Amino acid sequence: MSHSVSSATATDIGAYDYIIIGAGSAGCVLANRLGEDPKARILVLEAGGSDKSIYVEMPTALSIPMNTKRFNWGMVTEPEPGLDNRVMNLPRGKGLGGSSSINGMCYVRGNPMDYELWSALGAGGWHWANVLPYFQRLENVKGGGPLRGIHGPISVTRGPETNPLYQTFVQAGSQAGYAASPNMNQRQHEGMGPMEMSVGGGKRSSAAVGYLRPAIKRGNVRVISQALVDRILFDQGRASGVLFTQNGRPQLARADQEIILSAGAIMSPVILKRSGIGPAKELQAHQIEVQADRAEVGENLMDHLEVYVQQECTQPVSLFSHMNLIGKAMIGARWLLTKGGLGATNHFESGGHIRSRAGIVYPDIQYHFLPLAISYDGKTLAKGHGFQVHVGTKRSKSRGWVRLRSADSCDLPRVRFNYMTHPEDRPEMRACIRLTREIFAQPAFAPYRGKELAPGDACQSDDSIDQFITDKVESAYHPCGTCRMGDDAAAVVDPKTMRVKGVQGLLVVDSSVMPQATAGDLNAPTLMLAERASDLIRGRALPAAQDAPLLAAPDWALSQRSRDISHDYAGDRDSLRAALLANARR
């Protein structure tokens, strides 16, 4: 038996009803909702520390916490074979709020059909009409709107869209033949329109702010920071406790009811494996005693990839003039005084969702438009005024894995996404670039359009575009799928209870259980998933939404784009299910 921490020398810190591993997006929701019962005793174990920082609070500063050791695990991938063995950056939130404290704050529910697909793939009970009430429960949408929530813990706002380029992008999309959507989180996800962000009162609305702090105030939720979980302990097949270290000292917490693993798509499978749940061969290779041989733990890893298509801007309207020291200082000063101005936005104020080709039921390409030419991590900036889109596919069929480097809890895992290794990946990503160029070539952009900065005019052939993708594509930081929920024998988690199959008293609730990545940023779906799971754990559920439209272009089978997204499949879920599964087959 190889283990870095011994339970024999650990200090017993007592028993709790629920032990939640990870104070990220899902863990914060669970602590709050399960803590609504004043008799419930809840322990939350978080490997990182406090989220209190001006850089976490200030939306425009998003690239700073993403690049600091305090808030980021600092992981990188194994060499990626589909990208000429590039090693890719893999930031994961560390600290209260998890990745919701370091992400880009884009609030995207996904397409309603994402959840029909989850259901079709075996996650029974997770279709759109069932999950919509949980999106509504978590949202506090400024101004409300159809199908929205207005009393939830997460503030959702739109940017002011004062920059003319935001509307220009939507207008150009319309000129290119795509639908416009007044709000892509309401009835119609497909098309171009304004984007929303998890920001309230000019400050980041993370899961720690919205859920965890109010939960702690009630008095029945205890959070231990700097708690590095070694493994879950079992007693006759039932999860009975958690062994962890705090500042190097081994400690043991016992669970009277359940242990809930919410450590995210990378760390949840790692902790399962260290605890003896995973592929038996891998566990035995690390001298870990097998509790349950589950071949898919750590497999099915998905992510969203994106490239930047960057254009020179011929008028001085982009954000470039604010990118010097004086400009940044003025943004910061205004935000400190008023919580307003350019400091209060993530700058992704418009975007879009389109289909890469005819025959796809709902969007598989997402746009984040930015009135600046800069990399996501803020490290490389164009030399003048420009604008760009982050564009990428949302349902790539390639799958990766998360595997143990060793049984030592101090060792970060080995992660390989196998990006761009499925034969459909390249044509889909080429479509992203070519369809974007067509939008940027529309008359709406004529007053602003200079030369193309990236990929550049010389990059036209399939081979040259493929090389650009290989060299420049980046993760959108949306890993999921490594503890897939489903009704088949191979699935890791039961979708009706969130329990890990093969053991008792252990649940997984975070993006690792998603059977398919959604068509958009993953934070809002993760919060929704934890909201619904918190009810499943308590043996209850909100009634299904009566008004839950499933809109698609009537001519999706024949046309790649449409201005008309009006066909509602809500009354014809059988044919929709068949079409979705046909699209999803590998």
- Helix, strand, coil distribution of the chain in percent, nearest 5: 30, 25, 45
Contact 120, 229 (CB under 8 A): no
Query: Average pLDDT in the 98-122 region?
Result: 96
- Residue 493, SS3? strand
94 half-sphere exposure, CB direction, 13 A CA radius: 21
What is the DSSP annotation of 407-457?
S-TTSPPEEE--TT-STTHHHHHHHHHHHHHHHHTSGGGTTTEEEEEES-T
Give how far Cα 89 sits from Cα of 76, 177, 379, 502, 517, Å. Answer: 5, 36, 13, 34, 19
Chain position carrying tokens 């329109």? 193
For residue 157, what are its two tokens?
Answer: 């706002």
Q: Tell me the pLDDT tens digit for each residue of 24-44.
A: 999 999 999 999 999 999 999
- Residue 361: give its domain's CATH number: 3.30.410.40
Please return the burial class of 205, using the count of CB atoms within 10 Å of its CB with bins 0-12, 13-18 and 19+: buried
Query: Average pLDDT in the 461-466 region?
Result: 98
pLDDT at 378: 66
Q: Does any domain span residue 33? A: no
Bridge-partner residues for 310, per DSSP? Answer: 388, 454
Rounded to whole angstroms, the Cα distance separating 305 from 432 reads: 11
Q: Does any domain span residue 477? A: no
Residue of 353, 368, 390, 478 marked catalytic: 478
- Residue 197, SS3? strand
Q: Does any domain span residue 468? A: yes
Taking CA 178 as the corner, what is the angle to CA 173 and CA 180, rounded to the nearest 5 degrees?
80
Q: Does any domain span residue 309? A: yes
Q: Is 385 a catalytic residue?
A: no
Q: Does any domain span residue 138? A: no
Q: Does any domain span residue 295? A: no
pTM for the model stands at 0.97
Task: Domain of residue 372: give its range.
Answer: 160-194+305-393+420-472
Rounded to whole angstroms, the Cα distance separating 31 from 212 reads: 7
Give the distance from CA 285 to its chain's centroid.
32
Q: What percent of the chain has pLDDT over 90?
A: 92
Q: Does any domain span residue 371? A: yes
Rounded to whole angstroms, the Cα distance separating 473 from 458 reads: 18
Q: Tell me the pLDDT tens digit for each residue of 143-186.
A: 898 999 999 999 999 999 999 999 999 999 999 999 999 999 99
Contact 155, 210 (CB under 8 A): yes
pLDDT at 67: 83
Q: Does any domain span residue 12? A: no
Tell me which H or E stretch contains 284: helix 280-285
pLDDT at 374: 84
Q: Tell me the pLDDT tens digit for each residue of 39-86.
A: 999 999 999 999 999 999 999 998 888 888 898 888 999 999 999 999
What is the DSSP annotation of 198-241?
SEETTEE--HIIIIIHHHHHHSSEEEESSEEEEEEEEETTEEEE
pLDDT(101) > 90: yes
What is the tally of structural domains in the chain? Answer: 1
Instruction: Fill in the DSSP letter of residue 92.
Output: -
Number of neighbours of residue 540 by Cβ within 10 angstroms: 8
Residue 229 annotated as binding? yes
